[in-house]
Structure 1
Amino acid sequence: MKSKQLATSGDRAFVLVLDSGDEVLQSIKAFARDNRILAGRFTGLGAFSSVVLGFYDFETKDYHRIPIDEQVEVASFVDNIATTDEEVSIHPHMVVAKRDGSAFGGHVLEGRVHPTLEVLIEDAPAHLRRVRDKETGLPMLKV
């Protein structure tokens, strides 16, 4: 993983380039923690050798796992960064496309980068916090 802070006139911004084999969530969380990004957002493009997406089931209060064990292109990758219980918390959603153009989307549960993933992270000026919602069981942004 390589990174560089971008020159901006406002909030901090970084480009993060993940390498083949990197696990996406661990890498981004570690980067946010190491750079003290407590609130922000990111977007990204690239590809995975495998990815597990999730669809939240309100009845079970858990994610239905959607494993995709083949090379896919990242068509869209968006997220916000906040803190939950004083830990960096990310809320990533993604759309990936298979070779035939079929697309799958959902919450990112895990993903193995191949050959690269390019992520633009923007630090937000306000501190965002997540609090677990009793009804859904999900950590929701507190505004």
Structure 2
Amino acid sequence: MNYREVSGDREFVARLGHGEDWRSEIESLADEADVDAAWFLAMGAVQDATVWFYDQTELEYTEVEFDEPLEVAACVGNVAWLDGERFAHTHAVLSRRSGQTLAGHLDSATVFAGELYMRSFESDLTRDHDEPTDLDLWL
């Protein structure tokens, strides 16, 4: 296990913009507030979504698109540097009208309504390639 102690220094609440991209809104807040590392929680609703599932055998993402309104029952993630840009690593549990849930890495989604809580860390975090998983993980 690789770990280090971090301390939170600032907290934000935000309403995501209707019609905007869910993950881009989180990254925009990080850019505007000069947040180099953070943990966030969110909830709301989206008009569509693209969710990724990571195949641990093939070491690649499989993309699934949903062109329908969905509730964001839970959204959790973090902000860190990836390839010189702030990246919001975002996972979500989405719910259909029937109550059926879908979950995974939320790549993109069009915001209908969204509320976000973000707590930034005093030190920055950077993602780097992890050979065994072929993923970009925290250093």
Q: What TM-score, normalized to structure 1?
A: 0.86
With 124-133 and 47-56 compared, the bigger mean Cα shift is at 124-133
Stretches of structure 2 that go unaligned for 5 or more consecutive residues are: 1-7
Give the aligned partner of residue 112 of structure 1: 110
Residue in 1 that maps onto 2:3 = none
1:37 alignment partner, SS class:
coil
Could you tell me which of 127, 135, 141 is aligned with 2:124? Answer: 127
Query: How many angstroms apart in 1 are the aligned matches of 2:83 and 2:45?
Result: 31
Report what 2:5 is aligned to: none
Match of 1:54 among 39, 52, 71: 52
Gaps of at least 5 residues in structure 1 are: 1-9
Task: Report the AA paired with residue 117 of structure 2.
Answer: L
Higher mean alpha-carbon deviation, 10-19 vs 30-39, is at: 10-19
The amino acid of 1:79's aligned partner reads: G
1:86 Cα deviation after fit: 3.0
What is aligned with 1:19?
A: 17
Show CA shifts across 1:98-139 (max 9, x none): 00100000001110011x100011111222111111233211
Separation in 2, partners of 1:33, 1:138: 23
Deviation at 1:62, TM superposition (A): 2.5
Aligned to 2:37: 39
| Greater mean alpha carbon deviation, residues 95-104 or residues 33-42 | 33-42
Higher relative contact order (CA 8 A, sep 6+): 2
Task: Count residues with an aligned counterpart.
Answer: 132
TM-score (norm 2): 0.88
In 1, Cα distance between equivalents of 2:85 and 2:105: 19
CA distance in structure 2 between the partners assigned to 1:13 and 1:111 by the alignment: 24
2:136 to 110, 116, 139: 139
- The C-alpha deviation readout for 1:9-64, integer Å capped at 9, x for no partner, is x7211111112211112221122112110011110010001011110123443211
Three-state SS of the structure 1 residue aligned to 2:26 is helix
Q: Which residue of 2 aligns with 1:74?
A: 72
2:122 match: secondary structure: coil
Percent of aligned positions that are identical: 31
